Amino acid sequence: MTAFDDWRARSPFYDETHEALAQSVRRFVEREIAPHIDRWEAEGELPRALHKKAAEAGILGLRYPEQYGGHSEGFDNFHGLVLTEELAAVGAGGLGASLMTHGIGLPPILALGSEELKQRVAPPVLAGEKIIALGITEAGGGSDVANLKTTAVRDGDDYVVNGGKMFITSGMRADWLTCAVRTGGPGAGGISLLLIDMDAPGVERSRLDKMGWRCSDTAAIHFGDVRVPATNLIGPENGGFIGIMRNFNSERLGMAMGCCAYARVALAEAAEWAQNRETFGKPLVGHQSIRIKLADMERQIEATQAWVDLCAWQVKTGKDRPADFAMLKVQATRMLEAVAREAAQVLGGASYITGSKVERIYREVRVNAIGGGSEEIMLDLAGRQLFGGR
């Protein structure tokens, strides 16, 4: 059995700087996260203090502009993949989803927002003082982003927002919400992005209970005549759809990397169990059927990781295309589902008892296959982009 992170040493995309980052994040996880993750899972959210500690450790600001409090000099997107890998070590997907929620809430502001808005929002978020979330999905819309219903009507120096968002990661703790709203006519051309203060009058939030990602608070949010300053408009009015779409590609690459990381965690736990558990007078790994399972799990992980790294390289060199991210996400989530299942088979009854990482990862398979775009939507998107069709 190879070491948890040995794969990087055999890859042309990673060097000593990536390994140095891995060691730094690993120490942080062992010190600040691993001893508490089970309690946070039970409580249903992460403490706000963890964001401050992660900022001080350089985790929150990794690959964000220096002028806003980030750390971008000398870091590439493979450093981001390493960060995802190391945060996965505790086997709780809600950790990365919630602690790094600014990874989907902040980029639209940095890409499209005014300089005043960037200066007002980015520094406190990257310092761990404020939490920002992304509000796209609606109860009746799901992946049909172009037809979202939440409205924002201009009234003097404000927009008045009415409607709601569903399944919002960090929605209960968020100070700000980067929110997709309809400011114009039907379709993608009528969508804008607004930064909404979540303490504004008329904002109501309800906590959602979930089967997985339990330490990540998830909310249903309702807006009733919420007044938002027009200066909080992110980019041009009716020009928000492109900001949403460009966000999805990086989100899907990150989710695919997360699937590889959690699959490796599941494989590592299954392999350790197989080496120490005795059945019929010999270690479980002494049985051919178990060795075949472990090897097949490794095969699927390695193949998917190779595609993740290729897509990351294509982004880095400007050779990426959206269809690849859509197909990669499907490949990664199906791989994780297969690996988690086989890991559970190796652990047997132990995988059904709370306490193993495999048990938790198995419960979190579905959120990866649905969140960020369902398998069906992803494959249709790729099919239309590659082969044509309406």
Residue 1's pLDDT is 34
Q: In angstroms, rounded to a whole number, what is the distance separating the alpha carbons of residues 78 and 221?
A: 34
Phi, psi dihedral angles at 316 (to 5 degrees): -60, -35
Residue 3's pLDDT is 44
User: Taking a C-beta distance cutoff of 8 angstroms, is the pair 248, 377 a contact?
Assistant: no
Domains and CATH numbers, the chain: 3-127 (1.10.540.10), 132-238 (2.40.110.10), 242-388 (1.20.140.10)
Residue 369 exposed, middle or buried by CB count within 10 Å (0-12, 13-18, 19+): buried
**Mean pLDDT, consecutive 10-residue segments, the chain of 390 residues?**
66 94 96 96 95 96 94 92 96 95 95 96 97 93 81 97 96 96 93 97 96 94 97 94 83 95 96 87 87 96 97 94 94 97 94 91 93 89 86
Determine which one of 85, 138, 251, 364 is catalytic. 251
Give catalytic status of residue 86 as yes or no: no
Q: In angstroms, rounded to a whole number, what is the distance separating the alpha carbons of residues 359 and 211?
A: 11
CA dihedral sign of residues 266, 267, 270, 276: negative
